[in-house]
Amino acid sequence: MLVLLSLLIPIVLSDNCRNIHYEGEGVKHYQDTFGHDRLILIGDIHSDIDALKKIIKLTGAKASDTVVLLGDTIGRGDHTIDTLNYIMSAPNIVHILGNHEQFQIDTRYYYVTEADNDEFGGIENRMKAFSKGGKYYEYLARQPVVAQIGDLTLVHAGINKNLAKKYPNIEDINKLLNESEIYGNSGPLWYRAYGVWQDGAACPEIAEALTYLKSKFMIMGHTLFPSITTRCKGKGVFIDTGISRSYNSSLSALEVIQSQGRTLQMRAFYPTSIKIIYSSFE
């Protein structure tokens, strides 16, 4: 059962809100990881460690591949500890922050289950783990809001054209965003326009944003689709299919093959099929 614990606990608007983005310490890890040519991109898993393991097996991901989780790895599900411990132990996983990660490290316990709290040994232990100095805070505090691998921009929800114009260097996005730019509907943890607008409105906007960001594609989670979906002639790719048991256990992943930073092919993996959604060879 989901409980809105934020109704019982004061919202903390202190260092937890201002200083969580990257802090410079994760840069080398991501630069080292970006050298791989096969990427496996996975949408919102929501504390479903079993689904994550099934997807990794489904794609045949190896240590030489880069696995990218596009945020909302936690929240809604019952196994936050196992999920984060698994992610933290994997040297080839790039973890992009989503709004549910942000909720936790800002002590806004939205969409937390009683079973998940029990795994922490109660709410007080959860608070310690996600507060400054705690195991999961110190990990999440150094993960990016946005990453770029080759010609891909990777973000949980989306980067609108105004934000891209203001911060064309993604390092600036990761280091300098303030709370309002994160939490607002137009922030990278929440922006849904590319997924819900008609192409006539969305396509010029995403094209302009990608121009500022010097990218060819923007890959996003957050907005639920029945299958991995491309919009605006492939410029926007949406990979949240409701993977977790909190939704419909619709397993999927996006494989991207690159060479020297150029995307050659994208394939959508499902339990019973593989579909090419982009190919530079066609």
Interval 194-223 mean pLDDT: 95
Q: Which two tokens stand for residue 171?
A: 């390092």
Q: Which two tokens stand for residue 167?
A: 């911060």
DSSP reduced 3-state for 45: coil
- Contacts by 245-248, CB closer than 8 A, 24 or more apart: 245/48, 245/51, 245/77, 246/46, 246/47, 246/48, 246/76, 246/77, 247/46
The per-residue pLDDT for range 261-275, each reduced to its tens digit, is: 999 999 999 999 999
The CA distance from 57 to 53, in Å, is: 6
Q: What is the total count of domains within the chain? A: 1
pLDDT reported for residue 1? 54
The CA distance from 67 to 41, in Å, is: 6
The answer for residues whose C-beta is within 8 angstroms of residue 60's C-beta and 6 or more apart is none
Say what percent of the chain tops pLDDT 70.
85
pLDDT reported for residue 21? 45
More confident residue, 228 or 32: 228
pLDDT reported for residue 53? 97
The CA distance from 16 to 141, in Å, is: 9
The per-residue pLDDT for range 50-93, each reduced to its tens digit, is: 999 999 999 999 988 999 999 999 999 999 999 999 999 998 99
CATH number at residue 269: 3.60.21.10
pLDDT reported for residue 177? 60
Interval 234-241 mean pLDDT: 97
Say what percent of the chain tops pLDDT 90.
70
Q: Which two tokens stand for residue 94?
A: 């790039």
Q: Taking the CB of residue 4, how many other CB atoms lie within 10 A of it? A: 12
pLDDT reported for residue 30? 55
The per-residue pLDDT for range 144-169, each reduced to its tens digit, is: 899 999 999 999 999 999 999 999 98
Burial of 271 per CB tally in 10 Å (0-12, 13-18, 19+): exposed
| C-alpha separations of 133 from 15, 21, 104, 136 in Å | 12, 15, 14, 9
Interval 170-196 mean pLDDT: 83
pLDDT at 98 > cutoff 90: yes
Least confident segment among 36-45, 89-98, 178-187: 178-187
Contact 264, 70 (CB under 8 A): no
pLDDT reported for residue 27? 44
Q: Which domain holds residue 37?
A: 2-279
The answer for residues whose C-beta is within 8 angstroms of residue 32's C-beta and 6 or more apart is none
Confidence band for 34, pLDDT divided at 50, 70 and 90? low
Length of the chain: 282
